[in-house]
Amino acid sequence: MTLPLLEAHDLQLQFGSIRALDHVSMALWPGEVLAIVGESGSGKTTLLKVLSGSDKPDAGQVLYRDPELALHDVHAMGAPQLRALHRSDWGFVQQNPRDALRMGVSAGGNVGERLMAQGDRNYGNIRQVALDWLAQVEIDGRRIDDLPRTFSGGMLQRLQIARTLATHPRLVFMDEPTGGLDVSVQAKLLDLIRSLVSRLGLAVILVTHDIAVARLLAGRILVMRRGQVVETGLTDQVLDDPQHPYTQLLVSSVLQA
């Protein structure tokens, strides 16, 4: 039996009188896509921040198991160690690509920067890897020296994905990756994420308010409400046969196009 890549035990976090995380536990296995869904204010983005180490919980633990199976307490490690983890084993895809990309650096430079942070110093090699990645996310290689600000929203998001995946992370956190995009661009991006994730065997924690996105990308789902996990399980089972009153409400509230 393989062991989880990431585990959270009894996380608690209070913002004033609001319980952002109320006894949340979860586990993620290698190669698995887990969606965290819930309406705004449910705590899903807070959970992502705590899992990825950027916000500290009041109580509870987040444990990461490295490729040598050693366990690391994410909130006990020092900032340099956590940064190193984010540069190597982990990746983060932000909802707004402008928050992750360097807008004043070329497209190729954005991809190459993460490789250089990992210690690659061969310019020709970095440029070739960047070109490969631009091709994988369907950005024309001739745009490699262009600045991101000349790119459309969908292209920026694809560039962010290339930048994130170029260093071969094992675990990728995604915060509403298709959030700010036109529906037509969204569909293309969903297909891209889906095929990259399955081809590279990535483990992904995906925060989304869109349960259709969760259904298409995630094998397992976690439904949050007021800082609590109200239901979790196989994605299609939770969405087609919801047991908790809140999940039933959530599923029945979706507009059918």
Partner 1 sequence: MMNTAGHPMLKTHGVHKSFTLHLQGGTTMPVLENVELTVNSGECVVLSGPSGAGKSTLMRSLYGNYRVGEGSILIRHQDSWVDLATADPRSILAVRRDTLGYVSQFLRVVPRVPTIEIVAEALTLRGADHAEAVTRARTLLLRLNLPERLHNLPPATFSGGEQQRVNLARGFIGGHPILLLDEPTASLDAINRDAVVGLVAEAKAAGTAILGIVHDLPTRDAIADRLFKLYPAQMAAA
Q: Which is nearer to partner 1, 32 or 176 (CB)?
A: 32
Q: Which is nearer to partner 1, 105 or 180 (CB)?
A: 180
Q: Which is nearer to partner 1, 29 or 61 (CB)?
A: 29
Give the whole-angstrom CA distance, residue 51 versus residue 62. Answer: 6
Give the whole-angstrom CA distance, residue 5 versus residue 217. Answer: 19
- DSSP for 19-36 reads EEEEEEEEEE-TT-EEEE
Q: Which is nearer to partner 1, 24 or 101 (CB)?
A: 24
Give the whole-angstrom CA distance, residue 148 versus residue 155. Answer: 9
Long-range contacts at 14-19 (CB < 8 A, ≥ 24 apart)? 14/58, 18/227, 19/226, 19/227
| Least distance in angstroms from the C-beta of 63 to partner 1 | 19
| Least distance in angstroms from the C-beta of 187 to partner 1 | 4
HSE-up of residue 61 (Cα within 13 Å, Cβ side): 11
Q: Which is nearer to partner 1, 120 or 210 (CB)?
A: 210
| Least distance in angstroms from the C-beta of 114 to partner 1 | 27
Q: Which is nearer to partner 1, 37 or 85 (CB)?
A: 37
Name the β-bridge partners of 22: 12
Of the candidates 44, 66, 57, the one whose C-alpha atom is nearest the C-alpha of residue 8 is 57
Of the candidates 11, 91, 79, the one whose C-alpha atom is nearest the C-alpha of residue 50 is 11
The answer to whether the beta carbons of residues 246 and 230 sit under 8 Å apart is yes
Please report, as ranges, the residues that interact with partner 1 according to CB under 8 A: 29, 32, 184, 187-188, 190-191, 194, 198, 215-216, 219-220, 233-237, 240-241, 243-245, 248-249, 252
| Least distance in angstroms from the C-beta of 1 to partner 1 | 10
Give the whole-angstrom CA distance, residue 141 versus residue 108. Answer: 9
Q: Which is nearer to partner 1, 71 or 234 (CB)?
A: 234
| Least distance in angstroms from the C-beta of 195 to partner 1 | 9
| Least distance in angstroms from the C-beta of 185 to partner 1 | 10
| Least distance in angstroms from the C-beta of 32 to partner 1 | 7
Could you tell me the CA-to-CA distances from 225 to 204, 205, 233 in Å, in that order?
21, 17, 15
Determine the residue type at 163: R
